[in-house]
Amino acid sequence: MNTTDRNTIMVTCAKGLSGILRGEIEALGFSVNSAHETGAQITGDLYDCMKLNLHLRTAFNVLYLLKHFDCRTPDQLYKHTAALPWEEIISPEEYLCVIGRIETPTIENTMFANLKIKDAIVDRIMQKEDARPDSGKERDNVVVQAYWKNEKCWIYLNTSGRKISDRNYRKMPCAAPLRESLAAAIILTTGYDGSQPLICPMCGSGTLAIEAALIASHRVPGLMRANYAFMHTLLYDDPAWQQMRTEAGKQSKKRGKAEFKPAPIIATDIDPDAVRAAQKNAMTAGVEHLIDFKVCDFAETPVEPDAGSIIVMNPEYGMRLGETKELEETYGRIGDFFKQKCAGSTGYIFTGNPQLGKKVGLRTSRKIPFYNATIECRLLKYKMYSGTRKNKNHE
């Protein structure tokens, strides 16, 4: 087996993000064969997998297909898996993790299927090399991922290992932080490209502002991470990876470079601990110099009139009844803030509670569906006209 062998690559993402993911994949020069609710497929080799891991903002994992076969019994699963040339992929000195999703009437226990796959792999390597890799649950080394649905089975190399959406900068979380990939998807959905002022009142741990700063400065997100599962396979080409990283680093626009004059990014929160956490996280991500932080009520967040700002808010959306009552007033105040202080801007509210969304009291120009884990959410868009149009928010 070779690093240049071409096969199906499945890029997975959170439910609802595949449209944005598809745009990201196409912007990297790949053509997408198909997309579904939680992923998109392309054809490519392991170098393409490296590139996708390095550049994508909204993906979870990059899976490289090793084999696809008809499978009815655990014995067939073992036989087909053992027929793959694992000794060309995994060294006996490595550590192997097998994960799977099983939707077949043949067996109920996913662990049992994973065990069969693991046995097939290590038995094959033992037979060829007279030694076998250790195995377990850690996803920091070689990861093999299986999907067995009815009578079809797919065996992938999970080239990412841990989700690539975990960017490693959020050392200080606070209540209900957004996953980095979801925050990036929200920012990309607003059409933000770094040329407009970006304002994040209620910033919490700063995820939206940090993802915006990464986008504005063309920072390649994978540069923040040192370890990927593909590095632990025998097919890994380290010089090619270092070259890719160097080229990606050149794309980043650093402060001080004459051509990079970002519009302001402002992040505020009423909780000083949240602002401290956001500042620390931004520092870890290397973008703290691009964000102005402030402790204040959201309504006191400075918004320059008629500057075409994008304002993105992620208020709590309380899942319990008592909390919802309290939050109704907050959502009403957000509507007042948009109307009275944000003329000439576009406001967005990310919420998982449509009833609270109605308390904003302004007409939405779009309601964009998203999922936050399993919760169905909406990104509500409000267009605020400038003073000359008497701040009527409708389009």
Interacting residue ranges for ligand SAM, rule: CB under 6 A: 174-178, 201-202, 204-205, 207-208, 269-271, 274, 297-298, 314-316
Contact criterion met (CB below 8 Å) for 182 and 370: yes
Alpha-carbon dihedral sign for residues 160, 112, 373, 284? negative
- In the 3-class helix/strand/coil scheme, how is 102-126 assigned residue by residue? EECCCCCCHHHHHHHHHHHHHHHHH
Nearer to ligand SAM, 86 or 298 (CB): 298
Nearer to ligand SAM, 129 or 271 (CB): 271
CB-nearest residue to ligand SAM: 204
CB atoms within 10 A of CB 47: 16
Measuring CA to CA, which residue among 90, 15, 96, 8 is closest to residue 49?
8
Q: How far is the CB of 199 from ligand SAM (least distance, A)?
A: 12
Q: Torsion angle of alpha carbons 178, 183, 186, 187, nearest 10°?
A: 140
Q: How far is the CB of 226 from ligand SAM (least distance, A)?
A: 24
Q: How far is the CB of 268 from ligand SAM (least distance, A)?
A: 7
Nearer to ligand SAM, 189 or 314 (CB): 314
**Tokens 């593909």 belong to residue:** 230
Nearer to ligand SAM, 158 or 207 (CB): 207
Q: How far is the CB of 60 from ligand SAM (least distance, A)?
A: 17
Nearer to ligand SAM, 28 or 175 (CB): 175
Q: How far is the CB of 204 from ligand SAM (least distance, A)?
A: 3
Q: How far is the CB of 262 from ligand SAM (least distance, A)?
A: 21
**Tokens 């909204």 belong to residue:** 58
Nearer to ligand SAM, 218 or 276 (CB): 276
d(CA 116, CA 219): 41
Nearer to ligand SAM, 177 or 221 (CB): 177
Q: How far is the CB of 170 from ligand SAM (least distance, A)?
A: 8
Residue 269: CB partners within 8 Å, gap ≥ 6? 201, 202, 203, 204, 275, 278, 295
Which helix (DSSP H) or strand (DSSP E) does residue 134 occupy?
strand 134-135
Amino acid at 142: V
Q: How far is the CB of 301 from ligand SAM (least distance, A)?
A: 8
3-state secondary structure of 143: strand
d(CA 284, CA 68): 41
Measuring CA to CA, which residue among 324, 348, 140, 165 is closest to residue 232?
140
Nearer to ligand SAM, 202 or 244 (CB): 202
